[in-house]
Amino acid sequence: MSTLSCPSCGYHLANRAEVKSPQSLTSFKSPVLVHEKEIPALQAEVHHLDSLILHLNDKRAAILRKLNETQTTTRRLPTEILSTIFRFVRPPTSFDTLYLEFYVGANAINVEESFHHNLAAVCHLWNQVVQSTPQLWTTITLRADRRSSITKITSLLDLYFKRSRNLPLSILLDFQSEAKLRSEMDALMPFEARQAYLSQLQPLSAAVFDQDRAARIRQLILIHPPVELFSYIDKGLSKCDSMTIFQSREEIQTDHTLELLELPCLRRLDLIDVNFRVSQLPNTTTTLHLRNMLFTFGSETLMGLRNLVIFEIINPRGRAESILQITESITLPNVEHFGWCSPETDMALFSDFFHYIRFPRLRSLFWGQRKLWTGTTSDEDHKRLSVNFFSNLPPTLSSLAFSILDPSNETTTLIHHILHSIPQVSGLQFIQCPTVAIEAALEVVGRPLPSSTLVYDELHEELAATGAFSAFGEEISRISALKIGEWKIESSRTPRSQAVRSEQGMRSGNPGSVP
């Protein structure tokens, strides 16, 4: 039987079965009354023991710290070395591929961003090192919605600005959980609800776009932001060299214009699903990615992009009204990589663009389409458009990537014609292409275009007269196929090339850099 006693009254649990009447309780209390005079002494003894326990715990902790310092290698390292190690072991955090990978409903929080918080939780020393390493505090993602207190969000932002010291920051603001709610509120109470929402966001807007802080933002990503937020984007972002904007299609249609001309350092711009007008871009812009948006850039805007080096158009939607009005040649003299990915869009909508656009320094081209032409089989103009575009590519072109999903014989024939119009290519890549398309390319490597394959005699004669066709493959040094199931390459079919099959590569329709 247990001999435990109650710490308040001294009652022994072993005596519990012996208590059968109130009289027994009276007889039990009498010994306690006898010792009442000893209570102060007992309390003093308890206090002494408490102090002794605290002293022993402190002594124990000191001995353990000494033991850890003796046994743990990292505790003998200077804090500067630990700081350097932390910077190298932290997984890289980059927003550069968001324009390809992000989709509505995806979680914008990158788990790698919290890595330094995990390091800080290991011990007091590591916590101090993490806090004093500003390179660990230069990337932050903030989800702004009604489930989170704006005060907490701004406090976290304040912490990053403080601990990053004077280093530039990359900031992602995610408003996508609010996008649908904003749309519903606007339908019920267009003015009142929106003003209340914007008032709630005011502390966050002030914390991000404060004059001194805005000058420290190097990269800014806005996911489904309210269009009123664009009024904060001005010359205050004097060091911002990269901007990405996703807009919800559920966002109300407005007359807002995104003014970027005053950003003196803007180098890269990614626009996805935007429904607003974009002003003329600064001449510092060298990279432009357009995805799922109305391609309404007119000739004036395009001619102003003379310093572009990378230009990609992914899944353009709607009718290119302004592009159809182009009547003169547009030269982008510095573009070295051009990407076009349009699996569903009718290429004829952009016929003027492809007819007049010129890239005299183009080095790599990504071409993603369900077919190499659009329209009916009898529409020769659409087929001619593809061949004409490729035949006008400059001699500087060295890398070409195809993502063509149509396995028809028409695709095979057009591949023959296109490849013979670009004999300067030395690297050829097929991404999610059918076997017949790849075999069609291998058939013409190092060989002249056979007359038996000429289906479009009139088109061929016209281009051959200009010298556009020649033996393809004289310069080929690498052919690669990405994500092509069990397709195998016969080495005898590539006498002058090295054929490479890889299971790792880009997704279908993703225009990345071409090897």
Q: What class is the 90-284 domain?
A: alpha beta
Residues 156 and 94: their CA atoms lie apart, in Å, by 20
pLDDT for the residue 67? 79
Which runs of consecutive H residues, i.e. helices, occur in 112-210? 115-120, 124-131, 150-163, 176-188, 192-209
Per-residue pLDDT, averaged over 156-166, amounts to 92
Higher pLDDT, 302 or 215: 215
pLDDT for the residue 12? 53
Helix 150-163 vs helix 192-209: crossing angle, to nearest 10: 20
% of the chain residues with pLDDT over 90: 18
pLDDT for the residue 269? 92
Identify the CA nearest to 230 among candidates 305, 308, 175: 175
pLDDT for the residue 387? 75
Residues 420 and 45: their CA atoms lie apart, in Å, by 100
Residues 490 and 498: their CA atoms lie apart, in Å, by 11
Phi, psi of 3 (to 5 degrees): -110, 15
pLDDT for the residue 48? 93
Per-residue pLDDT, averaged over 299-328, amounts to 73
Quote the mean pLDDT of the chain.
73
Residue 45 predicted with pLDDT over 60: yes
Q: Where are the domains of the chain?
A: 90-284, 286-515
Residue 487 predicted with pLDDT over 50: no
**Is 453:413 a contact under the CB 8 Å cutoff?**
yes
pLDDT for the residue 163? 93
**Domain 286-515 indexed as CATH 3.80.10:** yes
What number of residues does the chain have? 515
pTM for the model stands at 0.72
Domains 90-284 and 286-515 share a fold: yes
C-alpha torsion angle, residues 308, 311, 317, 323 (rounded to 10): 50
Per-residue pLDDT, averaged over 266-271, amounts to 92
Question: Model confidence at 499, in pLDDT bands (50, 70, 90)?
Answer: very low
